[in-house]
Amino acid sequence: MQLEGRRIFFRYPNASAEVFSDLYFRIPGPGFHALFGPSGVGKTTLAKMLTGAIKGFDGEIAANGVRRVLYTYNLERLPGWSNVRAHFEEIAPSAGRRSMDELIETFGIEASLTSRFHRLSLGQQNRANLIRYLLQDFDLLIMDESLANVDELTREKIILKVKAMFPERCFLYISHNVAEVAKFCSQVLVLRSQSRTPQLASVQGYDHKEGAASDPGRLERAMLEIVHAA
């Protein structure tokens, strides 16, 4: 499984400046990877190119072994008026239902299962929405700030559990939190402004896993490399 973008140029219609100019990137395979960078550099644009929602760009995105790409984002809403559990049970294939209870417990939304989505807090909504994607079949799941409004300890618990439960899947985690992407991600793609060359730099993350001993020095080095690249 591999995703590679080669010589990508893109400008929105009627825009004065290009979003991407000769962009190259490579996501080498399964694992928890990150897309990091300041607001306005095109992180969501690149994510939507990977899903096929944005077309009409010059260059090539080659997806080797990636059949289905899903995209979830901050404040996305669950459709319909059923309660949360009923939606999970409706959308999950039989294979996904085996992991449903484990995800519900890890994400801490047991008390919300009988509620309708619009009655949940913003953090509960984002957690419920992420579960519905994890229950589906995918090769790459793009998480665009999809754990915003969730406290730090719960985010860490969720990320570690997702990595442990889905080691053969590929994740692209979009976040502005440098400590988070450095700690949990294998590869951090640092997207910079169009004036920088190259526009995207790749940094090796700490890639902390559930049950592993911590290495503060290694984490600090990863953070410094990401900040320097940005």
H/E segment holding residue 59 = strand 58-64
Residues ≥6 apart with Cβ < 8 Å to 122: 75, 148, 149
Per-residue model confidence (pLDDT) at position 126: 95
Q: Which residues pair with 222 in a beta bridge?
A: none
Per-residue model confidence (pLDDT) at position 127: 96
CA distances from 147 to 29, 68, 144 (A): 23, 22, 8
Distance between CA atoms of residues 40 and 207, nearest Å: 26
Q: Which fold has domain 2-75+138-229?
A: Rossmann fold (3.40.50)
Helix axes 94-107, 84-91, angle to 10 degrees: 150
Coil, strand, or helix at residue 28? Answer: coil
Pairing of strands 58-64, 2-10: antiparallel
Query: Which residue has 């294939």 as its token pair?
Result: 93
Distance between CA atoms of residues 191 and 205, nearest Å: 15
Nearest Cα to 129, choosing from 61, 78, 53? 78
Per-residue model confidence (pLDDT) at position 94: 72
pLDDT tens for the chain, 230 residues: list them: 889 999 999 999 999 899 999 999 999 889 999 999 999 999 999 999 999 999 999 999 999 999 999 999 998 988 767 899 998 988 877 766 778 999 999 999 999 999 999 899 999 999 999 999 999 999 999 999 999 999 999 999 999 999 999 999 999 999 999 999 999 999 999 999 888 999 999 999 999 999 999 899 999 999 999 999 99
Distance between CA atoms of residues 48 and 106, nearest Å: 28
Query: Which residue has 């999970």 as its token pair?
Result: 88
Would you say 33 and 172 are in contact if contact means Cβ atoms under 8 Å apart? yes
Per-residue model confidence (pLDDT) at position 219: 96
Per-residue model confidence (pLDDT) at position 198: 94
